[in-house]
Homo-oligomer: A and B are copies of this chain.
Amino acid sequence: MSTNHPLAEDLGFLLSRASGVVARSASASLAPLGLRVRSYSVLAFAGEDSAGVTQRRLAALMGLDPSQVVALVDDLESSGLVTRAPDPTDRRNKLIIATEKGHRIREEAQQRVDRAQSGHFDGVPQQHLEQLRSMLRRIAIPEEVPAGSGTESASGAQ
C-alpha cells in the first residue's frame, strides 16, 4: 500500500515501542509484589475462573508455548498464590487455581497495573480506547480463541 513511509510512522514499529513502554511500567509497578507481567497474567487468568484453568489454555490465552507456562506456574505455586489441582475428568490436566492469598495479591496487582497504565492512556477519549481495544483484539486473537482450548494444534498460539 503506502510505499516509503518513515519507520517512525510504521504501525508495527509503533506497536512494538508502545508495548515495550507499557510493559516496562507495568513490570516496575509489580516488582514490589514479587511479580512480573508474565506471572501476573497467569495469576489473573487463574483468578478469573474459580474452576481453574489448564496450563494448555493459559498458553493459548497468553500466546506462549505450553513449556513456558510450567516455570511461571512453578513460581506462583511456590509463592503460595496458586495450586495445581488434578482434574478428575481427565488426569492429564492440571487445573491452576488461585489460592486465597493469590486472590488478594491479584487484586492489589491489578490496581497497581491500572494505576501505572492510566498514565499512558488517560488523555485519550473513551471512545478511542474502545476502538483501540477492538483493533488490538482482532490482531492479537486472529480466530477468537474458542473456550475449548487447544484442538487447533497450537495454530495461532505461536
Which residues of A does B touch, CB under 8 Å?
1-4, 6-24, 26, 37, 41, 44-45, 48, 61-63, 110-111, 113-114, 117-118, 120-121, 123-124, 128-129, 131-133, 135-142, 158
Contacts and interface: CB of A to CB of B under 8 A. Distances in A.
A92 to B, nearest CB: 25
A13 B158 CA distance: 16
B44 A16 contact: no
7 contacts: A4-B110, A7-B48, A10-B113, A15-B22, A18-B140, A19-B19, A120-B139
B123 A138 contact: yes
Contacts of A44: 7
